[in-house]
A and B are shown apart, each in its own frame.
Chain A
Amino acid sequence: MFMDEQGTVSVDLLFATFIFLIILGYISTLISDRFSTVDKSQELVEARNLAENIAGAINQAYAGGNGHVIKIRMPDRINNDDKYHVEVNSSGVLVVLEDRRGLAYIIPQKFSKTYDNLQSSTIILSPAKEYVIINKREGKGDNWIVIIENNQKS
């Protein structure tokens, strides 16, 4: 009775705490490794997801015919990378991260970054911006995909 009142700790508790701390220390590195894996995986998933979403929007605009317009908004960052960008040309949609690349194929077509003066070019999409994808038919019949920032449609 006196022992409890004086704040002593039982040997059982000390032993259990000791074992618990050893196990915790031992698995902490493995847990840290798993968290790192999850973090890296998230970056890959977000990059692939973005490439496929943009490719899907472009294909949809192309299939929709002349005048079809789709708006897309680029995410602020991929995982923690806010320096990424996306390159779009007739080869496909290329997501460029700091040290990685991911490509989504699209239906081959002509791309222009200007609406009035159609010129074949690679279009760069930047983070946190909104773009419109427009299907525009040229006079002689070819359909172009025009991608411009939403606030400068000219």
Chain B
Amino acid sequence: MDLRNPYRDIKGQMSVEFVLIAGFMLILTCAVAAYIFDDSELTHAMAAARSGAVQGVLADSLAVYPEETFKDYIQEHPRLVSPSGVKIVKIAHENKGVNPLYNRTWIQLKIYATGSGMDSAEQYRLGSRINYYARKSICEVFKTQNLTNVGFNPAFSDKYVFTTAGVEWV
């Protein structure tokens, strides 16, 4: 403390050391920020996909469908209008590199589900609904509905484009 000016420390001056450390931290933060945000966006999208997949499973399990779907099922797949025990086992993703068409990193989602008493045609329909809701949820979270089609295929985030492989029934 400067004895000639005892108020020096309480007037807001910063030491050179502090300025140096703060500057270094700022540079370090900027350097890792881009990497963190990319990774965080993917985590965010995967959380949205899981949330959507759960909604799809609920629609499948409770068998309460949109009108057109209901009419189709009652004619072609009457088994599907009854509740069924469908569960999500896991949701995996694979980085397919940069998609030149959309200039975004292409991520393919693969959802694993389980359910009994269904033939392959019924599983295909239930799986399509799970995938649809997963893609829809991603688009809704990142507000990119205007970039895609009515089937939300593909789904977009700011830096990624998402597609879904057929649901694997285990």
Residue with the greatest number of chain B CB neighbours at <10 A, chosen from A36, A45, A102: A102
Judged by a CB distance under 8 angstroms, whether A14 is at the interface is no
CB contacts (< 8 Å) of B66 on chain A: these are 99-101
B10 at the interface (CB under 8 A from A): yes
Output the least CB separation between A59 and chain B (Å).
15
Across the interface, which residues of A come within 8 angstroms of B44, CB to CB? Answer: 26, 30
B79 → chain A closest CB, angstroms: 11
0/1 interface trace, chain B 109-144, chain A, CB 8 Å (1 if under): 000000000000000000000000000010011110
Q: Assess A37 versus B54: contact at CB under 8 Å? Given A2-B10, A44-B59.
A: yes
Interface secondary structure of B, over-half rule: helix
Q: Is A48 located at the chain interface by the 8 A CB criterion?
A: yes
In the bound assembly, the distance between CA atoms of A18 and B62 in angstroms comes to 43
B98 CB-CB contact with A under 8 Å: no
Task: Report how many residues on chain B are interfacial, defined by Cβ distance under 8 Å.
Answer: 27
A20 to chain B: which residues have CB within 8 Å? none
The chain A residues found within 8 Å of chain B, CB to CB, are 1-3, 26, 29-30, 33-34, 36-37, 40-41, 43-45, 47-48, 95, 97, 99-103, 105
A1 to B7, CA, bound (A): 11
- Asked if A47 and B67 make an inter-chain contact with CB atoms under 8 angstroms apart, the answer reads no
A37 touches B65 (CB 8 A): no
- A101 and B65 within 8 A (CB): yes
- Given A101-B65, A102-B64, A103-B81, also A41-B47 (CB < 8 A): no
Fill in one digit per residue for B35-58: 1 if any A CB lies within 8 Å of its CB, else 0: 000001000100110011011001
Lowest 8 A-B CB distances belong to which pairs? A102-B64, A101-B70, A48-B62, A44-B62, A44-B64, A103-B81, A47-B64, A37-B55
16 example contacts (A-B, Cβ-Cβ < 8 A) are as follows A3-B10, A29-B142, A29-B143, A30-B141, A33-B51, A37-B52, A37-B55, A44-B58, A44-B64, A47-B64, A100-B70, A101-B67, A101-B70, A102-B63, A103-B70, A105-B82
Distance in angstroms from B163 CB to nearest chain A CB is 20
Expressed in whole angstroms, the minimum distance between the Cβ of B21 and any Cβ of chain A is 12
Selected from B48, B65, B67, the residue in CB contact (under 8 A) with A33 is B48
B48 & A30 in contact (Cβ 8 Å cutoff): yes
Asked if B23 is at the interface (CB within 8 A of a chain A CB), the reply is: no
**Contact yes or no, A48 B63, CB < 8 A:** yes
User: Is the CB–CB distance between B65 and A34 below 8 Å?
Assistant: no
Nearest-neighbour CB distance to chain B for A16, whole angstroms, equals 14
Question: In the complex, which residues of chain A have a beta carbon less than 8 angstroms from the beta carbon of B137?
Answer: 33, 37
